[in-house]
Chain A
Amino acid sequence: MTETFSPRKYLRGITPPFCPGCGAYTVTNVFLKAVHELGHEDLRKFIFCSGIGCSAWIPSPHFMADSVHTLHGRSIPVATGIKLVRPDANIVVFGGDGDIVGIGLSHFIHAARRNLDILVIMVNNMVYGMTGGQVAPTTPFKTVTTTTPYGSFEYPLDATKLAVTAGACYVARWTTAHPNEFKMSIKEALKTQGFRFIEVVSQCPTAFGRKAGFKDAGEMIRWLRENTVPVEQIEKMSEDKLISKIVVGEFAKKHRPTLTETVQATMREAKKKIEN
């Protein structure tokens, strides 16, 4: 760790496609810094999976590693297949909110239920950014997007609550205005086992910010910082006050047998029964 951090050694050197001010730059940088601080000289120990959307491009093809860029919403099923064949694989899934809890929601719940041993990093920019800024399951109530020109009339989904309920072993939420806390969570998650989920609320100045009334990325990051509430403080707050806030912090930290372990244990027991 004495060596100074440079994300370049983990990257292919291909120019990223992200807009100026995109949160994906922060996510990339923070993830690679966490990996660096954990002592990884390269990304050989990892396999990256992603779906379709801007955030899916964070690892693919930019990380100098194995990466599988799958279909919209299907990164977790593909990761399931890889993990079951190679139980030793350290799989990290990157995806946007539309990818992970929109079209791919059912896989997200089932992977948490199974306790599939992977880390899912969901970059929540609250909008379908790649397609031009349509409303997402995570868009705040009343927000103007291209498909909700009069404001969104739906309430957003809390992905962390869902992950906790479905049985995830590690769940945290931060924003791109919390790079240090986000980094600590990545390090924590990479050291733990089971289904791990980190949501990072991120700014999309192009497709979200412009319609929603933000001047630039800087203003969005400021908004993210000012609109967050640490999970420790929510008990004192009324539901009305909480509705417009982003709750950040760690929501679950536990151990239970992973899918890899339960598969192996079940088969071991079955073998014993047959032998006796």
Chain B
Amino acid sequence: MKKTSTTNTHFWQGNEACAEGAISAGCRFFAGYPITPASEIAEHLSKRLPQVDGTAIQMEDELASIGAIVGASWAGAKSMTATSGPGFSLMQEGIGYAFMTETPCVIVDVQRAGPSTGQATKCGQGDVMQARWGTHGDYSAIVLSPNSVQEMYTLTIKAFNLAEEYRTPVILLADEIIAHMSEQIVLPNPKTLKIINRRKPTTGEKAFFSSYEVPPMPSVGDGFNVVVTGSTHDQYGIRATADPLVHRQLVERINGKIQNHEKELADFETYNIKECKVGIVSYGCTSRTVYDVVQNAQNKGINAGYVRLRTIWPFPNEIIEKMARTAKIIIVPEMNLGQLYHEVKRATKGHARVEPMNKIGGGEMITPEELLTKITDEGREYD
């Protein structure tokens, strides 16, 4: 008789699941600075990392935290930091440095209500655009959005895998609600986990900054005499701060290696998008309201469907356009004053009307009642 094991089932907090996901992904270095609502990730990893021969350190600020994880990554470790809006702002220069030097690492931003100190303990979804455009210059980000404790675990692993595969920083854009709530999580068998590790150079290789879309990455201290710089550099890492061609090739390649893979990177779940007249596009905590409402809307005779995004950036254009070809109206509920709404509107290419639905303050979620009213009001004219 087959026994059902319950030992892999836990009741965890989102931040705890994120920390455990990092360890399962092979993360062995964490550097961070305390900030609500992300501190539990630092606390949990400070306890857990030494148990797996890793290191966690509390740095003097977020500038140092991002610097330390970049250094750790170049020393060969999978590394991570976790913060919230204000700290995420401070890290932006370092994120650009990680992008320019093609340093795999994971940055967790547990969003809270900004701007500035805002409502520090309350949920918000206002960092969507910062995650994409936060650093200066031409930059492309991979940004993942979990909507459950389970996904705080699985998407953290995925963030590490993508960071290693694409040799780039990856942002896990969580939010206070998902990070602070506790719910059931079922851990997969470690043997079934797909873990990706960066490609290392072979002896004699010297070009660590091109000739491939994703070049091999040596570690410092391994005798490769690698030159790492955030200045524009040639394939050997040597600064070329005036050559137009070198800059063009480098910046186009490191953007292209992400933008050209929008389809592979797109990760979402859909419901009834082939039929729906009213579509909903959501992500993070807000998507949990959507689950509840779609069925109720259908019971009321409104043909509703949804796309729930796990990958926010690069923006999965294709699926939104597909939905827009059926839906007459697409509603974008967000806990901000309208951020991803603009992307959805662009991606529909005019095939559907796009309506924002925004709520901020006090960390109050958009309630099922509010969303249902919106759907009913907007959907009525398409009955």
> Interface on A for B, CB 8 Å cutoff?
14, 44, 47, 49, 60-61, 64-71, 73-74, 76-86, 88-89, 106-107, 110, 263, 267, 270
The number of A-B residue pairs with CB atoms under 8 Å apart is 127
Q: How far is the CB of B224 from chain A (nearest CB, A)?
A: 7
Interface residues of B in 191-221 (CB under 8 A from A): 219-221
**Contact indicator B221/A81 (Cβ below 8 Å):** no
Interface residues on B, range: 35 or more
**Contact indicator A66/B225 (Cβ below 8 Å):** yes
Any chain A CB within 8 A of the CB of B72?
A: yes
Q: How far is the CB of A128 from chain B (nearest CB, A)?
A: 17
Q: How far is the CB of B282 from chain A (nearest CB, A)?
A: 36
Task: Report the separation of the CA atoms of residues A107 and B220 in the bound assembly, to the nearest whole angstrom.
Answer: 21
Q: A67-B228, A68-B220, A71-B97 are in contact. Are A89 and B75 (CB under 8 A)?
A: yes
Task: Report the separation of the CA atoms of residues A137 and B239 in the bound assembly, to the nearest whole angstrom.
Answer: 28
Residue in contact with A78 in the complex, picked from B67, B221, B237, B239, CB distance below 8 Å: B67
* Chain B residue with Cβ nearest A46: B221
Please give 7 more A-B residue pairs, beta carbons under 8 A apart, in addition to A77-B65, A86-B220, A110-B64.
Answer: A44-B223, A66-B221, A68-B229, A69-B230, A70-B70, A80-B64, A106-B64
Q: A60, A64, A80, A89 — which one has the most chain B CB atoms within 10 A of its CB?
A: A80
**Contact indicator A107/B231 (Cβ below 8 Å):** no
Task: Report the separation of the CA atoms of residues A81 and B66 in the bound assembly, to the nearest whole angstrom.
Answer: 9
Hey, which chain A residues are within 8 Å of B29, CB to CB? 81, 84-85
Q: A70-B67, A80-B59 are in contact. Are A60 and B230 (CB under 8 A)?
A: no
Task: Report the separation of the CA atoms of residues A78 and B220 in the bound assembly, to the nearest whole angstrom.
Answer: 12
Hey, which chain A residues are within 8 Å of B70, CB to CB? 70, 78, 81
Any chain A CB within 8 A of the CB of B186?
A: no
**Contact indicator A77/B67 (Cβ below 8 Å):** yes
**Contact indicator B229/A110 (Cβ below 8 Å):** no
A/B interface sample: 29 pairs, CB < 8 A: A60-B239, A61-B229, A66-B221, A68-B71, A68-B74, A68-B229, A69-B230, A71-B67, A71-B230, A74-B94, A74-B97, A76-B67, A77-B65, A77-B66, A77-B68, A78-B71, A79-B71, A81-B71, A81-B79, A82-B71, A83-B71, A84-B72, A85-B75, A86-B75, A86-B220, A89-B221, A106-B64, A107-B60, A110-B59
**Contact indicator B64/A66 (Cβ below 8 Å):** no
Q: How far is the CB of A53 from chain B (nearest CB, A)?
A: 12
Any chain A CB within 8 A of the CB of B331?
A: no
Task: Report the separation of the CA atoms of residues A185 and B67 in the bound assembly, to the nearest whole angstrom.
Answer: 28
Interface residues of B in 175-189 (CB under 8 A from A): none
Hey, which chain B residues are within 8 Å of A83, CB to CB? 71
Any chain A CB within 8 A of the CB of B148?
A: no
Hey, which chain A residues are within 8 Å of B230, CB to CB? 69-71
Any chain A CB within 8 A of the CB of B76?
A: yes
Any chain A CB within 8 A of the CB of B18?
A: no
Residue in contact with B67 in the complex, picked from A61, A65, A74, A84, CB distance below 8 Å: A74
Q: How far is the CB of B243 from chain A (nearest CB, A)?
A: 14
**Contact indicator B228/A64 (Cβ below 8 Å):** no
**Contact indicator A82/B72 (Cβ below 8 Å):** yes
- B 77-113 to A, binary, CB cutoff 8 A, 1 in contact else 0: 1010000000000000110010000000000000000
**Contact indicator A60/B227 (Cβ below 8 Å):** yes
* Chain B residue with Cβ nearest A270: B50
Any chain A CB within 8 A of the CB of B69?
A: yes
**Contact indicator A61/B238 (Cβ below 8 Å):** yes
Task: Report the separation of the CA atoms of residues A209 and B227 in the bound assembly, to the nearest whole angstrom.
Answer: 32
Hey, which chain B residues are within 8 Å of A81, CB to CB? 29, 31, 67-75, 79
Interface residues of B in 135-149 (CB under 8 A from A): none
Q: A61-B239, A81-B75 are in contact. Are A66 and B59 (CB under 8 A)?
A: no
Any chain A CB within 8 A of the CB of B370?
A: no
Q: A47-B220, A82-B75 are in contact. Are A77 and B64 (CB under 8 A)?
A: yes
Q: How far is the CB of A43 from chain B (nearest CB, A)?
A: 8
Q: A44-B223, A107-B60, A263-B55 are in contact. Are A80 and B229 (CB under 8 A)?
A: no
Any chain A CB within 8 A of the CB of B63?
A: yes
**Contact indicator A80/B71 (Cβ below 8 Å):** yes
Q: A77-B63, A80-B67 are in contact. Are A71 and B75 (CB under 8 A)?
A: no
Task: Report the separation of the CA atoms of residues A79 and B64 in the bound assembly, to the nearest whole angstrom.
Answer: 10
Task: Report the separation of the CA atoms of residues A151 and B220 in the bound assembly, to the nearest whole angstrom.
Answer: 44
Q: B65, B223, B224, B225 — which one has the most chain A CB atoms within 10 A of its CB?
A: B225
Q: Sorted from nearest, which 3 A-B pairs have the closest CB atoms? A: A81-B71, A77-B67, A85-B75
Hey, which chain A residues are within 8 Å of B76, CB to CB? 85-86
Hey, which chain B residues are within 8 Å of A78, CB to CB? 67-68, 70-71, 74
Task: Report the separation of the CA atoms of residues A105 and B86 in the bound assembly, to the nearest whole angstrom.
Answer: 21
Task: Report the separation of the CA atoms of residues A69 and B226 in the bound assembly, to the nearest whole angstrom.
Answer: 11
Task: Report the separation of the CA atoms of residues A78 and B76 in the bound assembly, to the nearest whole angstrom.
Answer: 13
Any chain A CB within 8 A of the CB of B61?
A: yes
Task: Report the separation of the CA atoms of residues A68 and B50 in the bound assembly, to the nearest whole angstrom.
Answer: 26
Hey, which chain B residues are within 8 Å of A82, CB to CB? 71-72, 74-75, 220-221
Q: How far is the CB of B229 from chain A (nearest CB, A)?
A: 4
Task: Report the separation of the CA atoms of residues A60 and B28 in the bound assembly, to the nearest whole angstrom.
Answer: 28
Q: A81-B79, A84-B68, A267-B50 are in contact. Are A67 and B227 (CB under 8 A)?
A: yes
Task: Report the separation of the CA atoms of residues A84 and B58 in the bound assembly, to the nearest whole angstrom.
Answer: 12
Any chain A CB within 8 A of the CB of B129?
A: no
Any chain A CB within 8 A of the CB of B337?
A: no
Task: Report the separation of the CA atoms of residues A74 and B95 in the bound assembly, to the nearest whole angstrom.
Answer: 13
Hey, which chain B residues are within 8 Å of A73, CB to CB? 63
* Chain B residue with Cβ nearest A78: B71
**Contact indicator B74/A84 (Cβ below 8 Å):** no
Q: A77-B71, A84-B55 are in contact. Are A71 and B94 (CB under 8 A)?
A: yes
* Chain B residue with Cβ nearest A259: B57
Q: B29, B223, B229 — which one has the most chain A CB atoms within 10 A of its CB?
A: B229
Interface residues of B in 217-258 (CB under 8 A from A): 219-221, 223-231, 237-239
Task: Report the separation of the CA atoms of residues A59 and B224 in the bound assembly, to the nearest whole angstrom.
Answer: 15
* Chain A residue with Cβ nearest B57: A84
